[in-house]
Structure 1
Amino acid sequence: MSQTGPATKKQRMDVKTIGTHNGTFHCDEALAVFLLRQTDTYKDASLRRSRDPAVLNDCDIVVDVGAIYDESKRRFDHHQRGFTEVFGHGFSTKLSSAGLVYKHFGREVVASATGLELSDKKVDILWLKMYKEFIEALDAIDNGISQYSSQEKPKYRNQTDLSSRVGWLNPRWNESAEPQKVDALFLKASQLAGDEFLGRLDYYANAWLPARDLVLVGLSSRQNIDASGKIILFEKFAPWKEHLFELEAEQGISEDELPFYVIYPDETGGNWRIQAVPVSPESFDSRKALPEKWRGMRDDELSKISGVDGCIFVHASGFIGGNKTKEGALNLAKLALKM
């Protein structure tokens, strides 16, 4: 018994406290609190929701309240006049408390959730990807930054995004809002935002990143497929467009050395595809579409006109075609380069 008392007291003294504002909550501080609780320092932290400066000053870290942004003081608010902090790395959206916490603690969160070493370059890749695809929109919404210019009228309303779903968890205007009830709803909102964050991170770490590795191998070894370097071969199907454009830019590949065609097995694994690389990820125009005289042709007729056995089709726009074998798809690509 003599050892239990002091140890328990020390544990209580070591528990950190996260502070944020009380009352109506938003997605940014709900996620910020969740992210902090994924770090070693704040994983067991308690939570205080208040606007009382005395209460906040007693917290170890404060987010979304207090009108101070100072990393050294562990204060991460964004509402104060003159606040202009952005994430950097090409992003220019003003940060909310979610972005602030993610900017300073995000690498640790990513490393911990994925089991990667903090020094692994994949951590930085995922850290930036998660900001681009998940956090930045939350920052923009909380700061009132419109996705469109004021001259554009949206064709429909969208109230199903994460920020909206968190907002709907607040008590209704005409029902009681006792502090304990609102605090419990805030914890529910924080878990909701956090579960979606971790789910998205899991996808990027275990599906998006492996696809990137596959594209990198194909891009780096394309001269082994054809001396021109214009054909990339993937031995299995994976989403490749986004990765290809990013990796081409990272490697500084000149315009005259860019690949034209990608060869890969279709989703069934039985047949093969030849796809022309578009001029941009969202474009329907290709760097070099498949030959005009093949377009809209199928099966034996296509095999006869191309001189390649096993043809299945070439799309009428020339952006994609199919063959029964890898060798057949490669032969189509090599012929297309010369036409």
Structure 2
Amino acid sequence: MEAIDLVGSEFEEIVRYYGKVWLPAKLFVKQAIVNCKKVHSSGAIIDLSQSGEMPWIEHLINTEKELNIEGQIKFAIFYDVSGIWRLSCVPQSYSLDVLRIPFHPDWHGLSYSAFCDISGIPDCIYIHPLISDFETRESCIAVAEKLIQLNSDRYLTLNKAHSISDGSFYSVTDQLSLVEIPIIQPKGSMKFFPLDLKVGF
């Protein structure tokens, strides 16, 4: 009987989780994706600041597939009860091994004054490789916008070089800022920016 009670208790816990956490999170993430252009015109940033702690990566990837916009969302904004705004890079898949657009490696570890000096963007608390802390929502959006632009510039450079080499014609579309640029590094890791890329602010 103890085993049956244990299994029953675990089953009830799973049902409660899916009913009270997983499903509401799915609906919340889908609504955030639908409203993404209210956050930024690129449609690449979603605001999850009202969500609290919840599972979101699986829902984001699955919802993108449902809406036929796979890979569109690059960043998610969160708000911590301590008063800190956070900008998270969105992973390429369910794992965190590859990010769609990562924070620039030259930014990692920079604190407020150092980051502000090179970017002109205020209110930075700390830059982490995956998720970074800011004092305001506006700074989160400004940093995401800067990274989207850097990614677009990199894409333009690569495609222009390619078109010159093979004589093909290339055009810039409104989807340009949403294209991933994987750069294969030694040891098989992937980054979207070469380590020697200079940040041109």
2:120 corresponds to which of 286, 307, 318: 307
Does structure 1 residue 321 correspond to structure 2 residue 135? no
- 1:330/1:269 Cα in 2 relative to 1: closer, same or farther (>3 Å)? farther
Q: Displacement of 1:265 after TM fit? A: 0.7
**TM-score computed with the length of structure 2 as normaliser:** 0.68
Find the aligned partners of 1:269 and 1:208 in 2 and give their Cα distance. 24
The structure having more radius of gyration, on CA atoms, is: 1
Does structure 1 residue 273 correspond to structure 2 residue 94? no
Find the aligned partners of 1:305 and 1:270 in 2 and give their Cα distance. 25
1:216 corresponds to which of 19, 30, 33: 30
Q: Which amino acid aligns with 1:308?
A: I
Q: Deviations over 1:24-63 (max 9, x none)?
A: xxxxxxxxxxxxxxxxxxxxxxxxxxxxxxxxxxxxxxxx
1:285 corresponds to which of 98, 103, 123: 98
> Please, which runs of 5 or more residues in structure 1 have no aligned partner?
1-186
Q: Deviations over 1:137-165 (max 9, x none)?
A: xxxxxxxxxxxxxxxxxxxxxxxxxxxxx
Q: Displacement of 1:214 after TM fit? A: 1.4
Does structure 1 residue 331 correspond to structure 2 residue 147? no
Does structure 1 residue 241 correspond to structure 2 residue 57? yes
Find the aligned partners of 1:292 and 1:306 in 2 and give their Cα distance. 14
> Please, which runs of 5 or more residues in structure 2 have no aligned partner?
151-201
Q: Deviations over 1:253-300 (max 9, x none)?
A: 244xx111111113x340111111111121322011122332221121
Q: Deviations over 1:53-103 (max 9, x none)?
A: xxxxxxxxxxxxxxxxxxxxxxxxxxxxxxxxxxxxxxxxxxxxxxxxxxx
Checking the alignment, whether the CA contact within 8 Å between 1:276 and 1:320 is kept in structure 2 is yes
Q: Which residue of 2 aligns with 1:253?
A: 69
1:231 corresponds to which of 35, 45, 53: 45
Q: Deviations over 1:227-255 (max 9, x none)?
A: 11111111323331111112112222244
Checking the alignment, whether the CA contact within 8 Å between 1:273 and 1:320 is kept in structure 2 is yes
Find the aligned partners of 1:320 and 1:286 in 2 and give their Cα distance. 11
- SS class of match (1:205): helix
Q: Which residue of 1 aligns with 2:180?
A: none
Checking the alignment, whether the CA contact within 8 Å between 1:294 and 1:305 is kept in structure 2 is no
Find the aligned partners of 1:282 and 1:211 in 2 and give their Cα distance. 18
Find the aligned partners of 2:86 and 2:102 in 1 and give their Cα distance. 14
Checking the alignment, whether the CA contact within 8 Å between 2:74 and 2:100 is kept in structure 1 is yes
Checking the alignment, whether the CA contact within 8 Å between 2:61 and 2:70 is kept in structure 1 is no
Q: Which consecutive segments of 4 or more residues in structure 1 shift more than 4 A?
A: none
Q: Which residue of 1 aligns with 2:185?
A: none
Checking the alignment, whether the CA contact within 8 Å between 2:49 and 2:78 is kept in structure 1 is yes
Checking the alignment, whether the CA contact within 8 Å between 2:87 and 2:132 is kept in structure 1 is yes
- SS class of match (2:132): strand
Higher RCO (CA-CA < 8 Å; seq separation 6+):
2
2:14 corresponds to which of 184, 200, 220: 200
Q: Which residue of 1 aligns with 2:156?
A: none
Q: Which amino acid aligns with 1:275?
A: S
Checking the alignment, whether the CA contact within 8 Å between 1:311 and 1:324 is kept in structure 2 is yes
Checking the alignment, whether the CA contact within 8 Å between 2:40 and 2:141 is kept in structure 1 is no
Checking the alignment, whether the CA contact within 8 Å between 1:294 and 1:306 is kept in structure 2 is no
1:42-61 equivalent positions in 2, closer than 5 A: none
Q: Which amino acid aligns with 2:146?
A: L
Q: Displacement of 1:192 after TM fit? A: 1.7
Give aligned-pair identity as a percent: 30
- SS class of match (2:118): helix
